[in-house]
A and B are shown apart, each in its own frame.
Chain A
Amino acid sequence: MNIQDMILTLQKHWSEQGCILMNAYDVEKGAGTMSPYTFLRAIGPEPWNVAYVEPSRRPADGRYGENPNRLYQHHQFQVIMKPSPDNIQELYLDSLKALGIDPLEHDIRFVEDNWENPSLGCAGLGWEVWLDGMEITQFTYFQQVGGLECKPVSVEITYGIERLASYIQEKENVFELEWTDGFTVRDIFGQPEYEHSKYTFETSNLDMLFQLFTMYEAEAHRQMEEGLVHPAYDYVLKCSHTFNLLDAKGAISVTERTGYIARCRNLARKVAKTFYEEREKLGFPILKVKGENTNEQA
């Protein structure tokens, strides 16, 4: 099964479970969780079921397209369901079956992995799902987002698309994975992988990046004061990506990371709080639309 078919299969599966199918969000980010479709929507009482593919940038993982296991940018298939359905583990295992993975032929395990993203003030409990020893999915019950308690709790399922594909297609090299007939990952992403790696490790301008971080941070604060959550959050994402670029170049020590992470966290907390307040002002509209459904569940 090529990657395109995998994505179509997952989209169909989760669409049948009532998820809104969305597209990637257009600001750089390190993980699907950071998309506002997850980070912001996990906040507050409104129900939210969504699935989308998120290209995720990890500057530190860039290897000039030479390492068979590493990518500057990989893809995550992200599912959020709020409140978490009682049969979510079964729904997930069914999605693996749809991908042609028969649990009877493999060793599938749920191994504790409590996910934390300190720079966004997020914490969740759950597992990494192992397929014959390979971590293919992060499975998380959000407990806190942007420093706010989650009520109700969302469940987040994040499939590592390339990981899963390398297993399904039995390929050792990520660049040889078939995206669709006649197109490999290398065909599509080879050049950007090389260029972004070179940029990240060699040609990026540290002074400029430090300056940008400060500017983005200030702008995020300023827009929040205006009550403009989404523009503010875009700048939080930019801060986070800029930090990742600095970090990848080794410009920030282990000790100093703490300080930068605290700055990102403060921003994220503020955005989360503002988002909640803005939704409250609007009267939590999705809650009203879906009122019937939620009553049935309760």
Chain B
Amino acid sequence: MSKRNLLLEIGLEELPARFVTSSMNQLADKVQKWFTEKAIEFGDVQAFSTPRRLALLVTDVAEAQKDIEEEVKGPAKKIAMDAEGNWSKAAIGFTKGQGLTTDDIYFKEIKGVEYVHLNKFIKGQPTKELLVELQNLITSMTFGKNMRWANQELRFVRPIKWLIALFGQEIVPFTIADVDTNRITKGHRFLGETITIEDPAEYEARLTEQFVIANPDIRRNMILTQIKELEAKNNWVIPVDEELLEEVNNLVEYPTVLFGRFEEEFLELPSEVLITSMKEHQRYFPVKDQAGNLLSFFVTVRNGDERHLETVSKGNEKVLRARLSDAAFFYKEDQKKDIADALKKLETIVYHEEIGTLAEKTERVTAITGALVDALEVSVNKELALRAARIAKFDLVSHMVYEFPELQGYMGERYALLKGEEKEVAAAIHEHYMPKSADDSVPPSTIGAILSVAEKMDTIASFFAIGIIPTGSQDPYALRRQASGIVQILAEKKWNISLEAIIALALHEVEAKNIVKRELADVQEDMLTFFKARIKHMLQEQHIRYDLIDAVLLGEIGYISSLVERAGVLEAKKNEAGFKEELEALSRVMNIAGKCEHQVSVDAAKFENTQETALYENYQRVSVAYQQADNETERYELLASLQTDIEQYFEHTMVMADDSSIRNNRLSLMKEISDLVATYAAMNKIIVS
């Protein structure tokens, strides 16, 4: 059977660069899936995308769906035929329903019973008629952000300007948002013309003539080749940031790389400032020499050809010059101010109406930092830690941070060094904002990490104290991110301090400053619940099974690093032989311990059998070893070593004895063991398969 190529193109007002590639892939997936579902054979799918179009070329599409032949089973013979051999109503109805007659019936035996059968043949429909369904595929596309325009109801990534749907040389007719399908596409906005596509196969070549490189990989290579040429010609190194390249590639239909220069005096600015100005604001690639020093050049990609490159370069230079002059002015002005003056200014800046000024926040954070240093068994210079806490926020009143908020902390470090602060102090100012996301690293230095935990915990405690608690999608102060940051730091640094203790330190300060607007116990409870949710989230990201997560989170949080390790141990153990039995033994103890109402200290004199004595003695040994163990695997093994003793115990001992003193003694032993096991995990909440 003959085959045709299919061309589909959605012409759009400029798509956001970040959606171009994903939208192209989405369209390709949807269309391929549709062909497969419809049983229409096709060859290759080639996807195209530029800022103004998403397109697909599907080769060798069959003219029709595959025909379907199938055997259909009907009623049993005794229902289909009466004693005289006449077809019953049931049989006639069945054949009619299948579009056939009783002449087509044959019988087949299934498990000794004969049934009516028919051979059904479904003729595949012509592809051409089905292709109008492409309309629904397009309108069902989803994007990170959708919009409406004019009077249209449709939500789409940007307004649709034209549509091509060509099956061979024939237009597939449909309409989306008042735009009819046609065979007309547009070339480059300024360099190209409108063109008519006669045949899908000519699409890419015809567009190239009109200064549109529809294949993103080719565009990308054009950019890279031109960058390499510039590097070779000028002996430059142009580090290509993948993300930036992807963005730039999706901002152009016809890329031409060019460079510009800026005054060398701007090189005195901190490199982060230069790079932020170039990359974030202008999408320029910074240029370096062979030794890795920034040079006073930048590289940019224009959407057009090589004509008038000088004008374009001059214009870009002007923009960057203005930005860098601003930055240089801020940098100079900022250095005129002393840290002490900046700190004074923090007194006038309200952090939050009910929580107080930034200066007051600084005071609390400093106190928490001091308390943390005292509580932690790590070697750290307390004076330096306190200094870092005191000046951590001074750069917030600098011009540079006002202008480039993403440089907070970074500028603090620079300015602190210029003002002669100790290196560790300066670094901590920068680090106390870390980790900025789940992928970011935690502060490398101990002072930075302590300050980061203190600052974040103060923020959370203050907001919880006044009743601002994230719910659903409402988290205006990004408290979840802050809590996750603390969890990340504690998991990594493995300090010997429980989360509960850190919360208590922060709440102590918050309470001392009269910020708490509700029951302190409620605040504490809410904070614990909140942190458990963050830990749970983190463990889920590590693909720990949900019941194991719940089991380790049921009791106290304690040391987060240990908790995370315990979850990992259980996750690893869960499929090992013997785990089920160990778990059952420990769960049994935990379950029966729930019945202990009056715990007494266990009296060995009241034991009635050797199994009781054995369990008690082994438990005591395990208990001591448990406290001294090096890691959570070892702790697990210690608990698991009680398995046989527990099994023997239950085989020979009736815990719920009639004699109340014996019963109490036994329950108390169960309770003691259970309490120890619970510090590991609520084993009785784990699901055994």
Interface residues of A (CB under 8 A from B): 60, 67-70, 83-86, 89, 103-112, 114, 125, 127, 131-134, 141, 143, 150-153, 155, 166-167, 172, 206, 250-256, 258-259, 297-298
Contact = CB atoms under 8 A, between A and B. Distances in A.
Contact of B320 (A70, A133, A298): A133
A297 B178 CA distance: 11
B303 A255 contact: no
Interface string B283-303: 110000000000000001011
Contacts of A151: 148, 151
A108 B14 CA distance: 12
B301 to A, nearest CB: 9
Contacts of A132: 311-312, 314-316, 318-319
B520 interface: no
Given A70-B326, A114-B145, A131 B315 contact: yes
A255 B304 CA distance: 44
B151 A297 contact: yes
Nearest to A90: B189
Contact of B352 (A127, A131, A167, A253): A253
A213 B99 CA distance: 78
B348 interface: yes
A89 B149 CA distance: 13
Given A69-B322, A89-B13, A104-B190, A253 B351 contact: yes
B223 to A, nearest CB: 14
A103 B349 contact: no
Nearest to A111: B251
Interface in B335-359: 345, 348-353, 355, 357-358
B371 interface: no
A103 B190 contact: yes
A255 B16 CA distance: 30
Given A89-B13, A141-B149, 9 more contacts: A85-B150, A104-B191, A125-B158, A132-B319, A151-B151, A153-B149, A253-B358, A254-B396, A255-B477
Contact of B17 (A70, A107, A112): A112
Given A83-B151, A104-B308, A107-B303, A112 B13 contact: no
B352 A107 contact: no
Contacts of B315: 106-107, 131-134, 167
A70 B323 CA distance: 11
B326 A69 contact: yes
Contacts of A68: 322, 325
Contacts of A254: 396, 405
B31 interface: no
Contacts of B476: 258
30 contacts: A60-B402, A67-B329, A68-B325, A69-B322, A84-B150, A85-B150, A89-B13, A105-B307, A106-B315, A108-B190, A108-B303, A112-B17, A125-B145, A132-B315, A132-B319, A133-B312, A133-B315, A134-B316, A152-B151, A155-B149, A167-B315, A172-B322, A252-B349, A252-B350, A253-B351, A253-B358, A254-B396, A255-B355, A256-B350, A259-B352
Nearest to B250: A112
A165 B357 CA distance: 42
A200 to B, nearest CB: 14
A127 B17 CA distance: 11
